[in-house]
Amino acid sequence: PAGWSPAYLDALNPAQREAVESLDGPVLVLAGAGTGKTRALTTRLAHLLMTRRVSPWNILAVTFTNKAAREMRERVGALMGTDTEGWWMGTFHALAARILRRHAELVGLTSSFTILDTDDQLRLLKQLMEAEGVDSKKWPARLLLSVIERWKDRALPPDRLRPEDAGEAAGGKVLTLYRQYQDRLRTLNACDFGDLLMHNITLFQAHADVLADYHRRFRYILVDEYQDTNVAQYLWLRLLAQGHHNICCVGDDDQSIYGWRGAEVGNILRFEQDFPGAKVIRLEQNYRSTGHILGAAAGVIAHNQGRLGKTLWTEAEGGEKVRLRGLWDADSEARWVGDEVEALQRKGTSLDQMAVLVRAGFQTREFEERFITLGLPYRVVGGQRFYERLEIRDAMAYLRVVAQPADDLAFERIINTPKRGIGPATIQQLYQTSRALGVPLLEATWRLTETDELKPKVRGTLRGLVEDFARWRAQMDTARHTDLAQSILDESGYTRMWQEDKTPEAPGRLENLKELVNAMGEFENLLGFLEHVSLVMENAETVDSAQVSLMTLHGAKGLEFDVVFLPGWEEGVFPSQRTLDENGIAGLEEERRLAYVGITRGRKRVYISHAANRRIHGTWSTSLPSRFIGELPDEHIAVENDPGLTSGHWGQGMAGGDGGYGRGGSSWGARSDNFSDSFNRMGRQAPAGNRTSRLIEGTALDVTPRARPDAPFRP
């Protein structure tokens, strides 16, 4: 009856209702953060079902993450009171895989095809490179793989490319390799992630009947976070929407933050051309944040050129101003965040409602350690805890073997990392010797290299490794531990392994390794540091209670929290120097959108901070506050700088170490009794350039005072 509408529609404002009720034809909801785009999209889905327009199988709903898909499922499931099993709701990858399984034969696969991970992809590509005589030193497989993946992001199979598109990579052979790689995948009945969408597109283009079938099926298409789609995703959506044209996309050009992964903000800007007759709906009321938070976010994003520009307002009170704080150093920053979290918790805010959002993964470390010290439960969302990360575990294994040569587990972990051609059979042999002689694995390795039981090549490699460890161990008493750690990572080839790695994760891993060395600088020596880490790890049990979330800004897209901490707003960190170097002004604008995403995650309180000094490789360097800080409008921020800046807070901070460093006689400190003297001697005799001379002059360096920041603080 007229005038009557169901409760779920009454919970929306008129513009949102329009987005929900404009069911026919293309619709774009283009609106700022927190205006209820995701809510409108979910309600639209429910509305389609409630009004019995279509059955669940007729709707395709695409979200950016599996988590978002799950949330949508839960919300709609609750609204409808039904099970959502089998509905077409998920990420691009998940949905494309499901479609591909149903028609795999048409692209030369069978429905049981496997999806390869990066390791498999690389192994395969390397085999092909070898056969083609491509020098993998000059052209690392990872680099070539990323060239191939970029083509796949743009839905370009080998036959759509011309030789001139391929350029000089791999001596002009990259296109040949791409073709062979695709052939091999077919033979293996496998595909990689990029293939999922690309095969879908090929399939739809070559088989009109199949596409027509999906047109009949998917009468409504819903897409969240449309600003972050890449070319392949866009083409896929366009093909599927050709049938009914009932496609509804929601997004915010100001939140496009995946340009570095091939996303094209142009997709959202071109929507009206791509989908003629599109209705564009703008939402302007923000339901998430207070006036001051919105004002701060708007002030920053206004500095970007070429935006569509949007109005945002809120009925919420002005609330608290965004708190901006300058601190002496990273340590005090983590303390400050920890103290504020505790204070808010005491006043009744749940830890679940607090998040620390960082620009890069390595930055979580300071906060993790602080939270562990305070006993505050936390989780690292979309990533691992710092000391559990692969590269950190590897690096720690090297350090453990140096400190404690009987640590067989650590030695086994890195004996072939980076790859040294030591296979499982050799490792077996080492273990047998170790058991037979009753000595640790490292010593067994050394003993074996004294015999001729090993193949000469393996023997030489292992000999070199044992000598390296002996040399590093000898340096333990003389070299500064941070320098030693750096040498170990460099001389072992571990750093190089990640430098040559061209996967998107590699730069982050290198940053984590640097951060590890930085972290060591807070301790007097290696043993103290190792002990600290083992204690930290022990306390890091997972709990069921509420937890503070730690995550990257990228990972926080679409989420909201009562309280958001945005630390590390310093030039070079945020905006990230790497992005500025690689992408210039476009990179800067993407960083600024990231700042906008960060601020707009907060509902009630946002804290922004920057440290004046950071330790980089054991030495202090000064940082300038981020340019984005200067862009925050005065009327929306409350500035409070570290009082310690003028009152000697620094010295206090240094003395208050709570990590238990420098303690002797710990399990880490105890040297193995089994460890043979000759091994120690070998290290001292090993020629190691100027390291030997340092060793001769060497005195215990543990008393070295830590460097003090002397650079002036700039507010």
Residue 429 interacts with which of ligand ATP, Mg ion, none, CB < 5 to 8 Å by class? none
Strand pairing class (59-63; 279-281): unpaired
Q: Which residues contact 556 (CB under 8 A, 6 or more apart)?
A: 355, 357, 381, 597, 598, 601
Given a contact cutoff of 8 angstroms between Cβ atoms, the answer to whether 355 and 548 are in contact is: yes
Stretch that binds Mg ion, among 258-266, 550-558, 561-569, 576-584 (CB under 5 A): 550-558
Judged by CB under 5 A, the number of residues near Mg ion is: 3
- Within 280-299, which residues bind ligand ATP (CB under 6 A)? 287-288
22 binds, among ligand ATP, Mg ion, none (CB under 5 to 8 A by kind): none
Question: Using CB under 6 A, which residues numbered 231 to 260 contact ligand ATP?
Answer: 252, 255
**Binding partner at 473 among Mg ion, ligand ATP, none, C-beta below 5 to 8 Å by kind:** none
Closer residue to ligand ATP in complex, CB, 219/310: 310
The Cα angle at residue 358 between residues 357 and 363, in degrees rounded to 5? 135
Which of residues 26, 34, 243, 568 is near ligand ATP by CB under 6 A? 34
Considering the complex, what minimum distance in angstroms separates the CB of residue 539 from ligand ATP? 34
**Contacting range for Mg ion; rule: CB under 5 A; set: 31-39, 43-51, 294-302, 535-543:** 31-39
From the list Mg ion, ligand ATP, none, pick the one residue 264 interacts with, judged by a Cβ distance below 5 to 8 Å according to partner type: none
Angle at 280 between CA 254 and CA 8, to 5 degrees: 95
Binding ligand ATP (rule: CB under 6 A), the pick from 16, 256, 349, 353 is 16
The strand pair at 619-622 and 637-641 is best described as unpaired
> For ligand ATP, which stretch binds (CB under 6 A), given 10-18, 181-189, 400-408, 622-630?
10-18
Q: How many CB atoms lie within 10 A of CB 353?
A: 19
Residue 108 Rama label (left phi>0; alpha psi -120 to 50; beta): left
Residues 558-597, mask of contacts with ligand ATP (x by CB under 6 A): x-x-------------------------------------
Quote the CA–CA distance of 398 and 414 in Å, as a whole number: 7
Q: Does 39 bind ligand ATP (CB under 6 A)?
A: yes
Q: Which is nearer to ligand ATP, 319 or 405 (CB)?
A: 319
Q: Which whole-number Å values give the CA distances from 404 to 397, 408, 470, 679, in the listed order? A: 10, 9, 11, 13
Query: CA end-to-end span of the chain, whole Å?
Result: 63
Identify the residue among 28, 38, 64, 623 touching ligand ATP (CB under 6 A). 38
Give start and end residues of each alpha helix (H) in 347-376: 364-374
Q: Which of 19, 26, 28, 37 binds ligand ATP (CB under 6 A)?
A: 37
Q: Is 417 annotated as a binding residue?
A: no
Strands 619-622 and 602-616: antiparallel
Q: Applying CB under 6 A, does 614 fall inside the site for ligand ATP?
A: no
Q: Parallel, antiparallel, or unpaired: how do β-strands 190-191 and 220-223 relate?
A: unpaired
- Assign 130 to helix, strand or coil: helix
Q: At CA 596, angle to CA 595 and CA 601, rounded to 5?
A: 100
- Residue 12: name its binding partner from ligand ATP, Mg ion, none (Cβ under 5 to 8 Å by kind): ligand ATP
Place of tokens 């906008």: 596
CB-CB neighbours of 497 under 10 Å: 17
**How many chain residues are in contact with ligand ATP, going by CB under 6 A?**
17
Which of 12, 59, 466, 611 touches ligand ATP by CB under 6 A? 12
Of 34 and 575, which CB lies nearer to ligand ATP in the complex structure? 34
440 binds, among ligand ATP, Mg ion, none (CB under 5 to 8 A by kind): none
Instruction: Report yes or no: 440 and 675 within 8 Å, Cβ to Cβ.
Output: yes
Regarding beta strands 354-358 and 637-641, do their DSSP bridges make them parallel or antiparallel, or are they unpaired?
Answer: unpaired
What angle (nearest 5°) sits at the alpha carbon of residue 396, between those of residues 390 and 400?
A: 145
Candidate residues 16, 35, 38, 63; the one interacting with Mg ion per rule CB under 5 A: 38
Residue 632 · residue 324 · CB < 8 Å: yes
CB-nearer residue toward ligand ATP: 35 or 426: 35
Residue 423 assigned as binding residue: no
Q: How far is the CB of 38 from ligand ATP (least distance, A)?
A: 3
Query: Considering beta carbons, is residue 377 or 382 the nearer one to Mg ion?
Result: 382
State in angstroms the smallest separation of the CB of 71 from Mg ion.
10
Contacts of 152 (CB under 8 A, 6+ apart): 192, 194, 195, 197, 198, 232
Look at the block and give the residue holding tokens 């990273």. 330
Helices and strands, counts by H and E, the chain: 33, 16
Instruction: State which residue, 444 or 553, has the beta carbon closest to ligand ATP.
Output: 553
Nearest in space to 631 (alpha carbons), one of 573, 569, 714, 560: 569
Confirm or deny that 279 is annotated as ligand binding: no
Annotated ligand binding at 495? The verdict is no
Is residue 555 a contact point for Mg ion (CB under 5 A)?
Answer: no
Query: Catalytic residue numbers?
Result: 37-38, 224-225, 255, 601
What is the rounded distance in angstroms from the CA atom of residue 141 to the CA atom of residue 168?
15
Residue 397 assigned as binding residue: no
Q: Which of 32, 56, 558, 567 binds Mg ion (CB under 5 A)?
A: 558
Pick between residue 140 and residue 598 the one whose CB is nearest to ligand ATP: 598
- Measured CA to CA, the distance from residue 198 to residue 201 in angstroms comes to 5
* Contact of residue 615 among ligand ATP, Mg ion, none (CB under 5-8 Å per partner type): none
Q: Binding to ligand ATP by residue 35, rule CB under 6 A?
A: yes
Would you give the distance in Å from CA 164 to the centre of its chain? 34
Q: Can residue 554 be called a binding residue for ligand ATP (CB under 6 A)?
A: no
Q: 37 or 636, CB closer to ligand ATP?
A: 37
Kindly list the residues in this chain that would bind Mg ion in the complex (CB under 5 A): 37-38, 558
Annotated binding site: 31-38
Kindly list the residues in this chain that would bind ligand ATP in the complex (CB under 6 A): 11-13, 16, 33-39, 252, 255, 287-288, 558, 560
Annotated binding site for ATP: 31-38
